[in-house]
Structure 1
Amino acid sequence: MEIKKSFGLFFLLLIVVAVEERTMIQTVEAKTCNVPSGSFKGGCIGSTGSLQCARVCSRIEGLLGGGCKGVQCLCTKVC
């Protein structure tokens, strides 16, 4: 009977420690900015153009992603 109580207390203590550790971890978000794509060719029209812009930015230019703003393809990068 005491073994079950000890195990239960140990398990409860383990949960408390895990929750405290999790709250102590701080997340840092990197600041991002948009720059015009140097490799995107074609029209930045509709969702297809925006998808192609995002692919060019991530695959060819090696940046985080991108999208169309008006008729211009803007890539997202860490500033």
Structure 2
Amino acid sequence: MADKGVGSRLSAFFLLVLLVISIGMIQLELAEARTCKTPSGKFKGVCASSNNCKNVCQTEGFPSGSCDFHVANRKCYCSKPCP
């Protein structure tokens, strides 16, 4: 009979741990901000270097930028946190 009490406590403990972990994961998902991307208005040509793209995007007032595929070639997309 004593073993049943220990088993119940152990099961309850594991359920509590799982609950705490899942709440932490939900909070992490909520904390991540979405990123909005916009094609660069100043970048010319095929985007081969994300560093160059990032530098051009910063002159346009964006904190970051990267080369992404668009149809058949790579274009420079500027990014910022979504409002």
| TM-score using structure 2 length | 0.52
Which runs of at least 4 in structure 1 moved beyond 4 Å after TM superposition? none
What secondary structure is seen at the aligned counterpart in 1 of 2:77?
strand
Unaligned runs of 5+ in 1: 41-52
Unaligned runs of 5+ in 2: 55-64
Instruction: Report the count of equivalent residues.
Output: 64
| Aligned residue number for residue 14 of structure 2 | 11
Aligned-pair distance for 1:59? 5.5
The correspondence of residues 1-79 of structure 1 with structure 2, limited to 5 A, is 1=3, 2-25=5-28, 26=30, 27-35=32-40, 36-38=42-44, 40=45, 53-54=46-47, 56-58=48-50, 60-62=52-54, 63-68=65-70, 74-79=75-80
| TM-score using structure 1 length | 0.54
